[in-house]
Amino acid sequence: MKQEVSAAVPSVPSPSPQGWRLAQVGLRRGATQVFDRLELQLDEPRIGLIGRNGAGKTSLLRMLAGLEPPQHGQVSWQGQAVHAPSRQVGLMFQNPDDQIIFPTVEEELALSWQSAHGTDRRAAKAGVRQFLQARGLADWAPRAVAALSQGQRQWVCWLAMLLAEPRVLLLDEPYASLDLPGQARLADDITACGRQVLVSTHVLGPVRDYPRVIWLHEGRVRGDGPGREVCAAYEAAVAAEVAHAR
């Protein structure tokens, strides 16, 4: 059962220097056509990306981050074509082990501090300790990353993103390994961060109140509009599909 949601933005976006524009984007990975003539304008401060596994959510974030340029069309940000990663755009990977490179929390966060402030390593560590203390996490500084749970390592990645201070935050399944208190804290942090945030997630609660949620299905936009409407349509479609399969 296919269910469409009325788009809150034009299906063929007009150019804007303020945000992201994907124009006739085509992306193929091996024998798989991920996107074919995808058109999107992404200006809202909070945008959720939902859809089943393989829908194209991670691929979209990787294109925006400059990690996987399309074979056709163009991805641009603020009127400039995106060809490579930029410090202005941060991507938080779905698996924290793909992102963390240092053995301790303090060392990992110090790298992000230096990226934003350009200080020496000693000053960066001092800044990190002050940052952690302000968040009630002072005891995390010397902890070995290998001794942290999956959710705690994911939280370290989020803290690193904040410290690096990119202008755009791309979050790939940031709620996946967090417990309910952690999900609530992350949602509050995202609300308060003052930057554009795009969240790919299977956890619909945090994005349900977003002004815009995009439902991707097999590389195409199946729903695009206010979070409550799009999430409800997606849930209804999944429920109908499950009921039909029983």
Query: Radius of gyration of the chain from Cα atoms?
Result: 19
Contacts 24+ apart (CB under 8 A), 221-227: 221/7, 221/11, 221/38, 221/40, 222/2, 222/3, 222/4, 222/5, 222/51, 223/3, 223/4, 223/5, 224/5, 224/7, 224/8, 224/9, 225/5, 225/6, 225/7, 225/8, 226/8, 227/48
Per-residue pLDDT of the chain (246 residues; tens, 9 = 90+): 334 443 333 333 444 456 999 999 999 999 999 999 999 999 999 999 999 999 999 999 999 999 999 999 999 999 999 999 999 999 999 999 999 999 999 999 999 999 998 888 899 999 999 999 999 999 999 999 999 999 999 999 999 999 999 999 999 999 999 999 999 999 999 999 999 999 999 999 999 999 999 999 999 999 999 999 999 999 999 999 999 988
pTM score, two decimals? 0.90
Q: Which of 36, 101, 25, 17 is nearest to 68 (CA)?
A: 25
The DSSP call for residue 144 is: B
Q: Rounded distance, CA 172 to CA 166, Å?
A: 16
- 144 and 126 Cβ atoms separated by less than 8 Å: no
**Whether 225 contacts 5, CB under 8 Å:** yes
